[in-house]
A and B are shown apart, each in its own frame.
Chain A
Amino acid sequence: MNVSALTVLPVGVFLGAAYAAPLVHRWYRRGLSVVVLGAGFAGLGMAVLLAYRVATTGPLHYFLGGWVPPWGIEVIVDRWAALGLLAVTGVGLPVLVYALYDAEHELDAHVVGRYFGLMLVLMAAMLGVIMAADVFNLFVFVEISSLAACGIIAVKGDRTATEASLRYLILGALGSGALLLGVALLFMVTGHLNLRLAGDQIMTAVLEYPKVVYAGLGFAILGMSIKAALFPLHVWLPDAHASAPTPSSAMLSGLVVKVYIFGLWRLFDVMFGEGLMTAVSVRGLLLVLASLGIFGGSILAIGQDDLKRMLAYSTVANIGYVFLGLGLNSERALIGAALHIINHALMKAALFLAAGAIIHATGTRHVRRLAGIGLRMPWTMGSFTIGALAMVGIPPLNGFVSKWYLALGALDAGQPLYVIVILVSSLLSGLYYAPIIISAFFEPPRHGSEARDPHLFMTGPTVLLAAGCVLLGLFPSLLLVLLGRWAG
């Protein structure tokens, strides 16, 4: 038993807590928060420990049961994965805390225990996707997270949520079908499921069976892109993210879609490799789709009246940024993409949690009926403002830092056009966030409005996430240390 075994422990902790949560909730309702918080803090602690080890001593590999690939299953925590672990556990914990208080009024009492079961399964699955070092393992964890994600939408039990969940499930199933098909085809020609070993074989396989390899690659990318909501495969996202209970929205928009990009990046980097990626010019396609997504998401967001739908469309645009970074593929663009995954997770989670508190307090989801909210709910609306400003990319907030690296990466790649894409979409996001902030702070409140900041355990996580936006904006080196050698 060596220290690498620590890598699989977070998955186990969340999975264990996931089974414990519904039981504990049935027998002793108060115990639920102990289980959820215990798992959350333990996961975060382990993620920090792993990140520290990775930063100091290099990547960790763990072979389940001591079986070395090609027979055994490998788990890997490198810099990229450590970053993902930090993002998932760091953003997941405040969302879980918020959920503990939010679930009481947003959900039926009898589903609360199961809801947390699903949330914790989702956390475990996301960690699994990030650490998986073989394609089949990747596939399994992707499926678990998809199912759990559908579950935490449908748990609300109303018409919109049920329908959105079903649509997400069916499209997700299409995606997983494509992914599995891709995995099968690639396995047929390379003979390996381990990413690294398959990657070693893939260039010879291309010479022998080019069509099979291309088809496999195409299906795998298609499958992951549906789940990661790459434009125009995003159609399921707005309904799903907007109709879910608030903590689920924050989790889905902030983390879940990003985790699939982690998986996709793993495929690009380790399995397909530079040679194949250049040969099939996947990146050019990604750039175009990403730009379309950035514009499309932003423009559609401007047209939304529903606060949560607007945030959901903004996610479509921000997914575009991450894909843009992957498509540009210069060192700084990749750093920018990686930073944006974490930064957007913080911003969007803060925004969704604040939006949830606002909707709860005012009873309206309409963006034009929020006049004067800022004075009645200063903490909530303050966090919302910070999140929104970070989205626009105002320095010194974290959104600026990732846009800075993405833009530099675009110039490095000799594609200054994409700098313009980034800037124009920042302006567009100003157009949909600014009116909300303005009317919240500078218009007189409606009469009889009794809105107030919610309970400390709902306000606290929101403020904490917003503070994270400021902290990572001022000191991006906290993350750049991790990314330092990874991108090179």
Chain B
Amino acid sequence: MIERLAANFHYLAAVALFVIGFHTMLTHANLIKKIMGMNIMDTAIFLLFISSGYVHGGRAPIVDPGLVPGIVRYVNPLPSALILTGIVIAVSITAFALGLIVKLYQFYGTLDADEIAALRSRGL
């Protein structure tokens, strides 16, 4: 059991990060912290995805004509390539969200989601 966990420590790290991110996102009223939580959560998923493509002892997947094919093991390049796209998406979401938060701060003068809700219910 312990050995299996130790061998897959990167998955454990991913799960831990995911939980931290999720918790931050849900429990913090501060909008900026929510966004940070979201980013941590995304990172956890990226880690999980990339580590799933890692081959123990594998090389970077750049084909070198000097090496004999079939013997040299490569890391699966697909997850890394895909996660690049995922990171781009996460960055755009973050940027967009921050833009909206700036706008909300101009309206309400606070970054606290609860305070904003309270202000709104009072019709301000």
Interface residues of A (CB under 8 A from B): 136, 139-140, 143, 147, 150-151, 154, 157, 159, 162-163, 165-166, 169-170, 173-174, 176-177, 180-181, 184-185, 187-188, 193
Chain A, interface SS category: helix
Q: List 12 A-B contacts (CB under 8 A).
A: A140-B85, A147-B92, A159-B104, A159-B108, A159-B120, A166-B104, A170-B25, A180-B45, A180-B49, A181-B45, A184-B45, A184-B79
B41-62 interface mask toward A, CB cutoff 8 Å, 1 = contact, 0 = none?
1100100110010000000000
Q: How large is the interface on B (under 10, 10 to 19, 20 to 34, 35 or more residues)?
A: 20 to 34
- Is B29 engaged at the interface, CB distance under 8 Å to the other chain? no
The 8 tightest CB contacts between A and B, nearest first, are: A184-B49, A188-B52, A166-B100, A143-B89, A159-B107, A181-B45, A162-B103, A180-B45
Question: When the two chains form their complex, are residues A170 and B45 in contact, meaning their CB atoms are under 8 A apart?
Answer: no
Select one of B79, B82, B89, B107 contacting A162, CB under 8 A: B107
Minimum CB distance partner of B124 in chain A: A159
Question: When the two chains form their complex, are residues A140 and B104 in contact, meaning their CB atoms are under 8 A apart?
Answer: no
Question: When the two chains form their complex, are residues B38 and A177 in contact, meaning their CB atoms are under 8 A apart?
Answer: yes
Question: When the two chains form their complex, are residues B82 and A136 in contact, meaning their CB atoms are under 8 A apart?
Answer: yes
Select one of B41, B78, B100, B120 contacting A154, CB under 8 A: B100
Question: When the two chains form their complex, are residues B96 and A150 in contact, meaning their CB atoms are under 8 A apart?
Answer: yes
Give the complex CA separation of A154 and B108 in angstroms. Answer: 16
- Is B16 engaged at the interface, CB distance under 8 Å to the other chain? no
Measured CB to CB, the closest approach of chain B to A133, in angstroms, equals: 15
Instruction: Enumerate B2-61 residues with CB–CB distance to A below 8 Å.
Output: 18, 25, 31, 34-35, 38, 41-42, 45, 48-49, 52
Q: In the complex where A150-B96, A159-B120 touch, is A184 in contact with B89 (Cβ < 8 A)? A: no
Give the complex CA separation of A177 and B48 in angstroms. Answer: 12
Question: When the two chains form their complex, are residues B38 and A193 in contact, meaning their CB atoms are under 8 A apart?
Answer: no
Q: In the complex where A166-B100, A169-B96, A184-B52 touch, is A177 in contact with B107 (Cβ < 8 A)? A: no
Question: When the two chains form their complex, are residues B120 and A165 in contact, meaning their CB atoms are under 8 A apart?
Answer: no
Measured CB to CB, the closest approach of chain A to B102, in angstroms, equals: 10
Q: In the complex where A140-B85, A150-B96 touch, is A166 in contact with B45 (Cβ < 8 A)? A: no
Give the complex CA separation of A402 and B42 in angstroms. Answer: 39
- Is B93 engaged at the interface, CB distance under 8 Å to the other chain? yes
Question: When the two chains form their complex, are residues B34 and A170 in contact, meaning their CB atoms are under 8 A apart?
Answer: yes
Give the complex CA separation of A279 and B78 in angstroms. Answer: 30
Question: When the two chains form their complex, are residues A151 and B104 in contact, meaning their CB atoms are under 8 A apart?
Answer: no
Question: When the two chains form their complex, are residues A180 and B86 in contact, meaning their CB atoms are under 8 A apart?
Answer: yes
Known contacts A163-B104, A166-B101, A176-B93; 14 additional CB pairs below 8 A are A143-B93, A147-B89, A147-B93, A157-B103, A159-B108, A162-B104, A163-B120, A170-B38, A173-B38, A173-B93, A181-B45, A184-B48, A184-B49, A187-B79
Give the complex CA separation of A163 and B108 in angstroms. Answer: 11
Question: When the two chains form their complex, are residues B31 and A177 in contact, meaning their CB atoms are under 8 A apart?
Answer: no
Question: When the two chains form their complex, are residues B45 and A177 in contact, meaning their CB atoms are under 8 A apart?
Answer: yes
Instruction: Enumerate B94-124 residues with CB–CB distance to A below 8 Å.
Output: 96-97, 100-101, 103-104, 107-108, 116, 120
Question: When the two chains form their complex, are residues A162 and B100 in contact, meaning their CB atoms are under 8 A apart?
Answer: yes
Residues on B with beta carbons closer than 8 Å to the beta carbon of A181: 18, 45, 48
Q: In the complex where A159-B120, A166-B104, A184-B52 touch, is A177 in contact with B97 (Cβ < 8 A)? A: no
Residues on A with beta carbons closer than 8 Å to the beta carbon of B82: 136, 193
Residues on B with beta carbons closer than 8 Å to the beta carbon of A150: 96, 100
Measured CB to CB, the closest approach of chain A to B25, in angstroms, equals: 7
Residues on A with beta carbons closer than 8 Å to the beta carbon of B42: 173, 177, 180
Minimum CB distance partner of A135 in chain B: B82
Question: When the two chains form their complex, are residues A177 and B92 in contact, meaning their CB atoms are under 8 A apart?
Answer: no
